[in-house]
Amino acid sequence: MKPLPCIGFLAILLLAGCATTEPRIEVRTVEVPVAVKCAADPGPDPVYADTDEALRQAPDLFARVQLLVAGRLQRIAREGELKAANAGCR
């Protein structure tokens, strides 16, 4: 009668071994921002129409206002170029 308890104990051990779960492996992607040197070169600053010298040499108020408006439009265009160059770096 001795073999029966031994078989029962073995059956319990085998069933307990089946009840364990295997470790779950998870693969995760971690995104980390990395600083990258920007290679975009917007070029040198242009010579704007509304320089101090040009405004002093303007013959009347109308010519001064025209120079100021032209300088503003040039600066707006330059800002667009700089934004495009910076957007290429992102």
Q: Give pLDDT tens digits along the chain (90 positions).
A: 455 567 777 777 777 666 567 778 889 999 988 877 777 777 888 899 999 999 999 999 999 999 999 999 999 999 998 888 888 776
- Taking CB atoms within 8 Å and a gap of at least 24, the contacts of 52-59 are none
Query: Does this model's pTM top 0.85?
Result: no
Residue ranges per domain, the chain?
A: 49-90
At residue 60, the pLDDT reads 94
Structure tokens at 49: 């129409």
* Cβ atoms 75, 48 nearer than 8 A: yes
90 Cβ contact partners less than 8 Å away, ≥ 6 residues apart: none
Which runs of consecutive H residues, i.e. helices, occur in 1-90?
3-19, 52-57, 61-87
C-alpha angle 85-31-25 in degrees, rounded to nearest 5: 160
